[in-house]
């Protein structure tokens, strides 16, 4: 899957479903349900036991765009790339991890919270900025960070709920990361919630071409 395709999938879905679960099997089952429910972009957090195996299975078993989250070490990058991940995101900004992800051909979204981190991530060549934790920054903080970096692609994550998706997307985010709202129940719950969220997103329309870089 090309970088352009990955970015296009994220732009169309406008939601990255985050799986941070008890085991690989649970991540696989809920990931499949979420994709079937209409949210095709799924991130498996590496602090899920067996996360790399879940990434590999989802990449093989579904037509979703599958990524790795909580990528903290350079060694993690090679493992998730080999497993078939299409993108990676981090909670922090580690230049070595960002560079490793770019060298591996992955879409890279490092975690940022300050203007200094935003500038450094952009300079490193990151494809998206994962504002984290988004709820602490708030919409006003997000808008303040957008002003000096008008060309950045944003992925607010952390505390984004089903009720606030529209606020973040209307404020200029390309997509948002959502976890517990989707994964707090079984596979049926995950599918139903994914369908509701997909309906919310559909009502907002797609971002303009200039938002996707």
- What is the average per-residue pLDDT within 115-131? 98
- Polymer length in residues for the chain: 213
Residue 190 included in any domain: yes
Cβ–Cβ < 8 Å for 24, 48: yes
Residue 97 included in any domain: yes
Residue 46 included in any domain: yes
Q: Hey, which residues are catalytic here?
A: 43, 130
Enter the pTM of the model: 0.94
Residue 211 included in any domain: no
pLDDT score of 211 = 52
Residue 172 included in any domain: yes
Beta bridge partners of 67: 43, 87
Report the share of the chain in percent with pLDDT over 90: 94
pLDDT > 80? residue 134: yes
Give the residue, 204 or 112, on which the prediction is more confident. Answer: 112
Range of the domain at 113: 3-206
Compute CA distances 3 → 86, 91, 113, 187, 200, whole Å. 8, 21, 24, 29, 26
pLDDT > 60? residue 205: yes
The rounded mean pLDDT for the chain is 95
**Closest CA relative to residue 64, chosen from 56, 76, 73, 72:** 56
pLDDT score of 1 = 87
Number of folded domains that form the chain: 1
Distance CA 99, CA 209 (A): 26
Residue 213 included in any domain: no
pLDDT score of 52 = 98
DSSP assignments along 21-57, one per residue: -SSHHHHHHHHHHHHHTT--EEEEETTSTTHHHHHHH
Torsion of CA 27, 30, 35, 41, to 10 degrees: -40
Distance CA 121, CA 165 (A): 24
pLDDT > 90? residue 198: yes
- Reported as a single tens digit per residue, the pLDDT across 9-20 is 999 999 999 999
pLDDT score of 209 = 42
CATH number at residue 154: 3.20.20.70
pLDDT score of 210 = 46
- Reported as a single tens digit per residue, the pLDDT across 54-108 is 999 999 999 999 999 999 999 999 999 999 999 999 999 999 999 999 999 999 9
Residue 105 included in any domain: yes
Residue 192 included in any domain: yes
- Reported as a single tens digit per residue, the pLDDT across 142-189 is 999 999 999 999 999 999 999 999 999 999 999 999 999 999 999 999
- Name the band, by pLDDT with cuts 50, 70 and 90, for residue 138: very high
Residue 69 φ then ψ, to 5°: -115, 170
């Amino acid at each position: 899957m090309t970088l352009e395709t990955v970015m296009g999938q994220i732009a169309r879905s406008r939601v990255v479903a985050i799986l941070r679960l008890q085991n690989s099997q649970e991540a696989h089952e809920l990931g499949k349900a979420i994709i079937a429910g209409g949210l095709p972009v799924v991130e498996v957090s590496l602090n899920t036991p067996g996360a790399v195996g879940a990434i590999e299975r989802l990449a093989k078993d579904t037509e979703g765009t599958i990524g790795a989250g909580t990528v903290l070490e350079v060694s993690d990058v090679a493992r998730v790339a080999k497993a078939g991940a299409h993108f990676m995101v981090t909670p922090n900004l580690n230049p070595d991890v960002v560079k490793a992800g770019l060298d591996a051909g992955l879409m890279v979204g490092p975690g940022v919270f300050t203007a200094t981190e935003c500038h450094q991530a952009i300079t490193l060549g990151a494809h998206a900025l994962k504002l984290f934790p988004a709820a602490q920054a708030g919409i006003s903080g997000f808008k303040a960070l957008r002003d000096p970096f008008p060309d950045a692609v944003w992925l607010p994550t952390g505390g984004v709920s089903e009720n606030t998706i529209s606020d973040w997307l209307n404020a200029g985010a390309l997509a948002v990361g959502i976890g517990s709202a989707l994964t707090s129940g079984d596979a049926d719950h995950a599918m139903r919630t994914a369908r509701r969220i997909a309906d919310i997103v559909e009502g907002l329309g797609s971002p303009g071409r200039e938002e996707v870089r």
